[in-house]
Structure 1
Amino acid sequence: MTRPYIFCHMFTSLDGKILGPYMDTPESDKSGDLFYEIAFGKNRHYDHQGWLSGRTTTDDNFTHYKEPVLETDFPEVPAGDFVAEHDLSMYYISIDASGRLGWESNLLTYRETKAHVIEVLSEKVGDDYKHFLRQLNISYIIAGKDSIDPVLAVKKLQELFDMKMIMLGGGGVLNWSFIQAGMCDELSVVMTPVADGSSDLPSLFETKEGLTEAKPVTFSLESSSTYKDGTLWLRYLVNN
């Protein structure tokens, strides 16, 4: 199968957390700026066409746990995927197997970056939610029966949206599911010189019962960069 090149680009603490009190420090602000510049800045390192995150990451950062406004009386929804018309060159792809995200627009803004929203749904999502997305002109693809099939999702993203490179951006369960499915080529980690010792917050990779397992995966170091403020940027190739 030919598919887009997929790199996982994440911002972490020294103890591998992707969320936590460490993010409220000046040191993390500086490291966060580097994280953005690498993937989204004017001279970005990666020339990707979209970035992909899980439902919780989307709710935490963009939709803020709003409920979708669903109608009970709506016209018949055509079967299959929906590719909306838009004029943006960047996509934000959200995994939303159950159709729960309460979008208010098909345009997402992350700092200076504007992106068209794509939802990745499972077959169990009802037509009321699909109609909701169509009313907002939000694209969606269906990839999997009850849960999301990473291989099928990536295949459709390439075929329907001409994506040649995709950034994988968390959370930890999503990252690990793509790693285990062989759908990740590179790991890019920007590590801030801060730790907070949190034991109940998500980390870079996490298993989920019934979805993934704690089976070791090895990585080959591609490059490492150090910065005066103590930030590290580590790049690994995934040994699939």
Structure 2
Amino acid sequence: MLMNRPYVFCYMAPSLNGKIKGSYRKKLEEENSDATKLFYVEGFTPEGRYGDNQGVMCGRLTTDENLTKFKKPELDTNAEIVKAGDFIAKDINLDNKFYISVDPKGKIAWQNSTIKFGNLTNNIIEIITNETSNEYKDFLRRKNISYIIAGDKNIDFETALMKLKKLFKIEKLMLGGGGILNWSLIQQNLCDEISLLVMPTADGSPDTPSLFQSKDGMSGDKPVSFNLKTVEKKGNIAWLTYTINNNN
């Protein structure tokens, strides 16, 4: 099946207690400024270990928190019915990387068809469902933002990955959270590698999201085992990589 979809690796920088958001990040910036630099260089620059990836996939909440700040899209309630099926942006540069947003209901208020990570331009691709409104699809088309339809009510990730490879020639894809998205792909055997830069900080909060989280309607909580691949010491950081046990 891998030949029909990209190679998917989950690349994250959790706290020592497995959190991916919280005040531990502030402590990290105060005492370990090289840690965040390492994460960026290895994952998002051409010379990094994962510099050959062609894009990153993130969930709707992660995108809103970090990029679009929960703004509302400017919808046209009188929009004409758009053409059925997927939409590939006009004059898209396939040499750019991609930012793939998992947005089942169509909520993200993009301002442009691309975003910048450092010096790299990323084409935006929205993954939506058949429940996404015509008004939102019209909004994406007006912004010249590509979208693919995968699933009726919930995202069909297998279909989404196959379309990403077929339509956009994506061979290697970073999975960048949040925890619900990470776990959904792991539960469906659609993630090939886990790469964790474990940060030497923690805050103990019980309310912040974890590296992996289940959610009704998206994934179950079936236990999964992993095979340790490599362990590296990078200053005060432990860099761990795993493959997923095929017997799960």
Q: TM-score, length-normalised on structure 2?
A: 0.93
SS of equivalent to 2:216: coil
Q: Which is further off, 174-183 or 40-49?
A: 40-49
Residue 36 (structure 1) aligned to one of 9, 32, 40: 40
Q: 2: distance between equivalents of 1:119 and 1:9?
A: 20
Change (3 A) 1:148 1:205: same
TM-fit CA distance, 1:27 = 3.6
Aligned residue pairs, count? 239
Q: Deviations over 1:5-29 (max 9, x none)?
A: 1000011110110000011122453
> How do 1:104-183 and structure 2 match up within 5 A?
104-183=111-190
**Aligned partner letter, 2:98:** Y
Task: Determine whether 1:21 maps to 2:23.
Answer: yes
State, as a whole percentage, how many aligned pairs show the same letter: 44
Residue 68 (structure 2) aligned to one of 38, 63, 70: 63
Residue 75 (structure 1) aligned to one of 77, 80, 83: 80
Q: 1: distance between equivalents of 2:158 and 2:60?
A: 18
SS of equivalent to 2:40: helix
Task: Determine whether 1:93 maps to 2:97.
Answer: no
Q: 2: distance between equivalents of 1:182 and 1:83?
A: 27
- Unmatched 5+ residue regions in structure 1? none
SS of equivalent to 1:108: strand
SS of equivalent to 1:207: coil
Q: 2: distance between equivalents of 1:214 and 1:147?
A: 17
Q: 2: distance between equivalents of 1:224 and 1:213?
A: 29
Contact between 1:117 and 1:139, CA under 8 Å: does it hold in 2? yes
Contact between 1:51 and 1:166, CA under 8 Å: does it hold in 2? yes
SS of equivalent to 2:76: coil
Aligned to 2:7: 5
**Aligned partner letter, 1:66:** K
Q: 1: distance between equivalents of 2:209 and 2:9?
A: 19
Q: Which is further off, 53-62 or 19-28?
A: 19-28
Aligned to 1:223: 230
Aligned to 1:203: 210
Q: 2: distance between equivalents of 1:227 and 1:48?
A: 22
Q: Which is further off, 203-212 or 6-15?
A: 203-212
Contact between 2:154 and 2:217, CA under 8 Å: does it hold in 1? no
SS of equivalent to 2:122: strand
Q: Deviations over 1:66-98 (max 9, x none)?
A: 000001222331100001122252000000000
TM-fit CA distance, 1:211 = 2.4
Contact between 1:67 and 1:100, CA under 8 Å: does it hold in 2? yes
Q: TM-score, length-normalised on structure 1?
A: 0.96
RMSD: 1.2
TM-fit CA distance, 1:199 = 0.6
Q: 2: distance between equivalents of 1:221 and 1:50?
A: 25
Q: Deviations over 1:16-62 (max 9, x none)?
A: 10000011122453211111111112312121111100000000111
Q: 2: distance between equivalents of 1:190 and 1:55?
A: 23
Q: 1: distance between equivalents of 2:139 and 2:110?
A: 9
Q: 2: distance between equivalents of 1:166 and 1:178?
A: 12
